[in-house]
């Protein structure tokens, strides 16, 4: 049975790093920005436009209907609808193709039928600011306040984007199997324990499937 | 350095079982109802009265002040204040005495200075109802609806009680290092992975302390 791990994460919490390291440890594929590229290719829009819609910098109307993606969108919502449809299709293609770790893109909701293991990664603001600073490109000089503002903005966009797909709030514990706080501890230290947890969970799921 | 693990949990989620198994695995003490007994002894109240106050079945006024227990309570709040003071004292005595796992009693807040590892255990309603049914004493016959109501009531009491000690909401992820969803998986399967996680976290904390 397919093993899909989805990672949702607060900006700066190290969720992407955890996803990458976990995929390596599990020996399975890892998908992150590749998804945006693929959506852009499939929908015919520029990558930056797709990214903008997915981060809710570009406005659209809520079109979720229960947990199902509704394609009956308003006409002026057509661009976004194409992007959502492409996102839906690409995530399904990836999940059907191989075991993988997928970061973001509401994969936990969109791939629900694959029974993914859903992780939420978070941290306190100080840790997130520190991590952003460590990973900043050379020449970037934001104050702590500016970084905090950016972190809140990105997370607010992610929360809004998720509302298009699910009635369960972004970051709300019931949407995830495990919520991991990375405050004050390097992500690389946590990978082995998260790996153990995920393995145990998939093993149990397989046993249940066999019994059915 | 002292290793304290606190377990906060939704009623019926298996948090207590996880705490007990984790304490056994770590080879350290486990405290749960013993704390209520000790508080009753120290404060001079009946155990059932202490339990009532701690589950917020018996009303009291909020007396937290920031994160510090305030002893400047209203006179008609005297009983509760004695109980809070005894709770504070007993939790500190336990933490000073030995490494331990403590279930409930707002130990994550009250023992903050000991830098405990704080776990929140939760599950979906169906799993919680099933678990309550499995653990019900012989002769107890509640309908699913009645069990759901009981679960909500107990959790609401826990949330209210926590508000007396902390501005951070009960169950809000930022209060915990790890949030564990036990839906559809036996707690005994999860213990080893949670144990690994806790060990890694304490090891990292020790390394940081040594470097200081």
Report the pLDDT value the prediction gives residue B64, as an integer from 0 to 100. Answer: 46
Q: Say whether residue B181 is in contact with chain A using an 8 A CB cutoff.
A: yes
Q: Identify which of B176, B200, B208 has the shortest CB distance to residue A192.
A: B200
- The winner for highest mean pLDDT among A135-139, B139-143, B156-160, B172-176 is B172-176
Residue B101 has pLDDT above 70, yes or no: yes
Report the pLDDT value the prediction gives residue A190, as an integer from 0 to 100. Answer: 95
Q: Identify which of B124, B174, B203 has the shortest CB distance to residue A124.
A: B174
Report the pLDDT value the prediction gives residue B44, as an integer from 0 to 100. Answer: 80
User: What angle, 0 to 180 degrees and rounded to 10, lies between the N-to-C axes of helices B187-211 and A187-211?
Assistant: 180
Residue B165 has pLDDT above 70, yes or no: yes
Residues 6+ apart with CB under 8 A from A192: A25, B196, B200
B197/A201 CB distance under 8 A = no
Q: Is B97 exposed, middle or buried (0-12, 13-18, 19+ CB in 10 A)?
A: exposed
Residues B124-153 have pLDDT tens digits of 999 999 999 988 887 778 889 999 999 999
* DSSP state letter for B114: G
Which residue of chain A is at minimal alpha-carbon distance from B203?
Answer: A189
Residue B175 has pLDDT above 90, yes or no: yes
B204/A185 CB distance under 8 A = yes
Q: Say whether residue A176 is in contact with chain B using an 8 A CB cutoff.
A: yes
Give the number of C-alpha atoms closer than 13 A to the C-alpha of residue A187, restricted to the C-beta side.
Answer: 18
A173/B173 CB distance under 8 A = yes
B200/A181 CB distance under 8 A = no
Q: 3-class DSSP state for residue B36? A: helix
A190/B173 CB distance under 8 A = no
Distance of residue B33 Cα from the nearest chain A Cα, in angstroms: 27
Q: Identify which of A180, A192, A200 has the shortest CB distance to residue B190.
A: A200
Confidence of residue B47 (pLDDT cuts 50, 70, 90): confident
Q: What is the pTM of this model?
A: 0.88
Kindly list the residues from chain A whose CB atom is less than 8 angstroms away from the CB atom of residue B177: 181, 183
Between A1 and B196, the higher pLDDT residue: B196
Q: Report ipTM (2 d.p.).
A: 0.87
Residues 6+ apart with CB under 8 A from A86: A38, A39, A42, A43
Spatial separation of the C-alpha atoms in residues B97 and B86, rounded to whole Å: 16
Report the pLDDT value the prediction gives residue A56, as an integer from 0 to 100. Answer: 66
Kindly list the residues from chain B whose CB atom is less than 8 angstroms away from the CB atom of residue A179: 120, 173, 176, 178-179
Mutating which of B25, B177, B191 best tests the A interface, going by the most A Cβ atoms within 10 A? B177
Q: Identify which of A179, A185, A197 has the shortest CB distance to residue B193.
A: A197
Minimum mean pLDDT range among A129-138, B63-72, B90-99: B63-72
Q: Identify which of B179, B199, B201 has the shortest CB distance to residue A179.
A: B179
Instruction: Give me the tens of pLDDT residue by residue for chain A, a chain 212 residues long.
Output: 899 999 999 999 999 999 999 999 999 999 988 888 888 888 888 888 878 777 766 554 444 444 444 444 333 477 777 888 888 888 999 999 999 999 998 999 999 999 999 999 999 999 999 999 988 888 778 889 999 999 999 999 899 888 888 899 999 999 999 999 999 999 999 999 999 999 999 999 888 878 77
Residue B123 has pLDDT above 80, yes or no: yes
A179/B173 CB distance under 8 A = yes
Cβ atoms of A104 and A10 within 8 Å: the answer is no
Q: Say whether residue A188 is in contact with chain B using an 8 A CB cutoff.
A: no
Spatial separation of the C-alpha atoms in residues A92 and A38, rounded to whole Å: 12
């Amino acid at each position: 049975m397919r093993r899909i791990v989805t990672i949702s994460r607060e900006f700066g919490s190290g969720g992407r790093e955890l996803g990458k390291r976990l995929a390596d440890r599990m020996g399975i594929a890892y998908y992150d920005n590749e998804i945006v590229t693929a959506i852009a290719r499939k929908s015919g829009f520029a990558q930056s436009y797709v990214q903008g819609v997915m981060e809710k910098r570009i406005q659209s109307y809520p079109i979720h209907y229960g947990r199902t993606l509704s394609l009956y969108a308003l006409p002026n919502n057509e661009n976004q609808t194409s992007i959502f449809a492409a996102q839906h299709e690409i995530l399904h293609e990836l999940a059907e193709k191989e075991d993988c770790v997928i970061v973001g893109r509401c994969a936990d909701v969109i791939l629900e039928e694959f029974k993914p293991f859903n992780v939420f990664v978070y941290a306190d603001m100080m840790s997130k600011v520190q991590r952003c600073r460590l990973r900043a490109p050379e020449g970037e000089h934001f104050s702590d306040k500016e970084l905090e503002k950016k972190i809140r903005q990105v997370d607010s966009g992610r929360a809004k984007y998720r509302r298009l797909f699910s009635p369960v709030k972004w970051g709300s514990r019931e949407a995830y199997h495990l919520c991991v706080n990375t405050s004050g501890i390097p992500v690389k230290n946590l990978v082995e324990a998260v790996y153990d947890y995920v393995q145990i969970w998939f093993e149990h799921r397989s046993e249940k499937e066999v019994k059915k």
